[in-house]
């Protein structure tokens, strides 16, 4: 049982480049989330998917898109990366909509130059 | 605007001492208050959580104290150990729209042997 996995672990992009962060969970959870973590800011929700086939904006969605590919996978796309998107990105899942415990992946450290 | 305010930013405690981290909120619709523990290079993991119908919850050396009227809650780590050295985040969510966990800014705890 791997829990929540994320790829890649590290990535460096130039301004304007695009990339997709991948996330998968093997806990049969319905809900999945993308957060970014910045120093002094805590974790902030970018997008979430309450169930397969639905996605909603969180607190900081600008500059990002998401796809809930199936129940297991939830990807985050940066279409045109900006230095302000330099951050550590965490994917999380929970076992039902509104469930309180969220299980986090190990994170992707993204640097945009 | 930070929905959950956390202090202190960093904390150094001697082994065997008590670590205390405080959080405050304004949104009276919050009804779930978890604490997450994060080790370097890892994703956050749920440590302990409380709902506002109780004033205290204890799990081993970790205790949450909750003051509904003051809209404050705190984490106490008794008999702090070097292995407790990590970053701790408080968070809160409301029943309606509970997909969004609002995190505090984090406290880096260092326990000195």
Q: What is the pLDDT of residue B100?
A: 77
B43 vs A92: CB contact, 8 Å cut-off?
A: yes
Please tell me the distance in Å from B70's CA to the nearest CA on chain A. Answer: 23
User: B15-40 burial by CB neighbour count: b if 16+ within 10 A, else e?
Assistant: eeeebbbbbbbeeeebbbbbbbbbee
A98 confidence band (pLDDT: 50, 70, 90): low
pLDDT for A29-84, tens place per residue? 988 999 999 988 889 999 999 888 899 999 999 999 999 989 999 999 999 999 99
Q: What is the pLDDT of residue B52?
A: 87
Q: Which two tokens stand for residue B35?
A: 């604490």
Strands A74-78 and A64-68: antiparallel
Non-local (6+) Cβ contacts of B102 within 8 A are B3, B4, B25, B27, B30, B91, B92, B93
Q: What is the pLDDT of residue B99?
A: 65
Secondary structure (3-state) at A10: strand
A74 touches chain B (CB under 8 A): no
Q: What is the pLDDT averaged over residues B1-29?
A: 95
Q: Which residue from B79, B72, B54, B74 is spatially nearest to B63, judged by alpha carbons?
A: B74
* Burial degree of B44 (CB within 10 A; 0-12, 13-18, 19+): buried
Give the best residue of A21, A90, A100 to mutate against chain B (max B CB count within 10 A): A100
Q: Which residue from B98, B109, B96, B101 is spatially nearest to B25, judged by alpha carbons?
A: B101
Q: Give dist(CA A29, CA A42) in Å, integer.
A: 24
pLDDT exceeds cutoff 60 at B97: no
Q: What is the pLDDT of residue A100?
A: 78
B46 vs A42: CB contact, 8 Å cut-off?
A: no
Please tell me the distance in Å from A1's CA to the nearest CA on chain B. Answer: 16
- What is the average pLDDT score of chain B? 93
Q: What is the pLDDT of residue A14?
A: 97
Q: What is the pLDDT averaged over residues B37-61?
A: 94
Q: Give dist(CA A82, CA B60) in Å, integer.
A: 44
pLDDT exceeds cutoff 80 at B37: yes
B96 confidence band (pLDDT: 50, 70, 90): low
Q: Give dist(CA B72, CA A56) in Å, integer.
A: 29
B80 touches chain A (CB under 8 A): no
* Burial degree of B101 (CB within 10 A; 0-12, 13-18, 19+): buried
């Amino acid at each position: 049982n791997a829990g929540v996995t994320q790829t890649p672990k590290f990535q460096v992009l130039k301004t304007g480049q695009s990339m997709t962060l991948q996330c998968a969970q093997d806990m049969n959870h319905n809900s999945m989330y993308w957060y970014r973590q910045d120093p002094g800011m805590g974790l902030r929700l970018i997008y979430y998917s309450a169930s397969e086939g639905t996605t909603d904006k969180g607190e900081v969605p600008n500059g990002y898109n998401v796809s809930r590919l199936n129940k297991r996978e939830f990807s985050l796309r940066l279409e045109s990366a900006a230095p302000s998107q330099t951050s550590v990105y965490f994917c999380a899942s929970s076992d039902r909509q509104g469930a309180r415990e969220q299980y986090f992946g190990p994170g992707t450290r993204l640097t945009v130059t | 605007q930070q929905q959950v305010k956390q202090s202190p930013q960093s904390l150094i405690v001697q082994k065997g001492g008590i670590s205390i981290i405080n959080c405050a909120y304004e949104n009276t619709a919050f009804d779930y208050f978890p604490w997450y523990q994060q080790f370097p290079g890892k994703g956050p993991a749920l440590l302990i959580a409380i709902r506002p119908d109780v004033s205290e919850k204890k799990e081993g050396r970790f205790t949450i104290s909750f003051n509904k009227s003051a809209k404050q809650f705190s984490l106490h780590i008794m008999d702090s150990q070097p292995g407790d050295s990590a970053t701790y985040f408080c968070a809160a969510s409301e029943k309606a729209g509970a997909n969004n966990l609002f995190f505090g800014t984090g406290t880096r705890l260092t326990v000195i042997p």
